Amino acid sequence: MQNNTLIALVDGSAYSESVCHHAAWIAGRCDWKVTVYHVMGRREGAGKQDLSGTISLGARTALLQQLAELDAERSKLAQEQGRAILEDARTIIEGDGDIAVETRLRQGDLVETIADKEDSSDMIVIGKRGEAAGQAMAHLGSNLERIVRASHKPVFIANRAFKPIENVLVAFDGGASSRKAVDFIARSPLFTGLKLSLVFAGKQTSDIATALESAASSLEARGFEVETSIRSGDPEKALAQITTLGNHELLVMGAYGHSRVRALIIGSTTTEMIRSCRVPVLVMR
């Protein structure tokens, strides 16, 4: 069922502005509304460390009271920050066009929130990395693979800077998810007027060549300008190289299939692959 809504996930990171611009671009082309979520961790703004030690009972009681008050203040500040982030997101998205925007502040687990709310949406937009992008673990980034694996909706992964999209690279392996991606492209107004390049990376077979040509023909029948190519080598290296050296502003790929692309998306190299591509990635289930 079409909901005409996309979910945009924002935090305080440098990627959030890009998420907003990409969300506005998608919503504008599809005539969708945008629901922006900022999800605070369960412990965000709450200190859990027991600093009382062996302090005497009276002093410890006073200290614990001060800590409780500090926790409450931290929680209040975190909520105020969350509301400010959402208002900034609304301003950016509405500034990009006549787009209906709703904002939601939630506390809990990000992936659980998406699992609970994704049925009301048609797509999820998230940044490659989150607030802790300069650290070993990224807030949103650390949840990327979990969201891709858990979500039943297309996941659009925004890179750091928004750039108008005119040329789309479609990773095609002949599997169910890549065929679904082709069908989605053919039917969605999101891709109207964009140039498409269908690429198979791996060992060429007659079945793959036939499937590739069939996919291209179905898109051309819908009025798309389509190029096809077959590249030898590992899919992750070939795709990353094409997006780095080519003129493509978006990579579309399936999350599941019958080639190494399947292991790429659901395996341990997911985040590294997404980070290595210098363009946004739209992942289809």
Tell me the pLDDT tens digit for each residue of 34-58: 999 999 876 554 544 554 455 555 6
CA–CA distance, 105 with 210 (Å, rounded to integer): 48
Last residue of a domain, one of 97, 125, 158: 158
Which has the closest alpha carbon to 273: 251, 258, 256, 249? 251
What number is the average pLDDT over the span 8-15? 89
Most confident residue range from 69-73, 135-139, 223-227, 230-234: 223-227
Q: How many residues does the chain have?
A: 285
Does one domain contain both 145 and 184?
A: no
Both 117 and 178 in one domain: the answer is no
Per-residue pLDDT for 231 more than 50?
yes
Same domain (yes/no): 28, 88: yes
Q: What is the pLDDT of residues 184-205, one digit of tens each?
A: 999 999 999 999 999 998 888 8
What is the number of domains present in the chain?
2
Query: Residue 276's domain is classified under what CATH number?
Result: 3.40.50.620
User: Do residue 150 and residue 211 come from a single domain?
Assistant: no
105 in Cβ contact with 40 (< 8 Å): yes
Residue 126 within a domain: yes
60 occurs within a structural domain? no
Mean pLDDT of the chain: 83
- Supply the range of the domain harboring residue 218: 167-284
Check residues 18 and 149 and name the one with the higher pLDDT.
18
**Residue 278 counted as domain residue:** yes
Please indicate, yes or no, whether residues 111 and 236 belong to a single structural domain of this protein. Answer: no
Domain co-membership, 175 together with 249: yes
In 3D space, the residue among 229, 210, 222, 19 whose CA is nearest the CA of residue 125 turns out to be 19
Whether residue 21 sits in one domain with residue 105: yes
- 149/177 same-domain check: no
Query: Would 199 be classed as within a structural domain?
Result: yes
Position 178 confidence tier, pLDDT thresholds 50, 70, 90: confident
Structural domain includes residue 63 = no
Are 147 and 129 contained in the same domain? yes
Do 109 and 115 form a contact (C-beta atoms < 8 A)? no
Are 82 and 209 part of one and the same domain? no
**Domain-located, residue 61:** no
User: What pLDDT is attached to residue 94?
Assistant: 97
Domain-embedded: residue 53:
no
pLDDT at position 90 is: 97
Region 198-221: mean pLDDT is: 91
Residue 58, in any domain of the structure: no
Are 83 and 184 members of one domain? no
Out of 158, 183, 199, pick the residue that ends a domain: 158
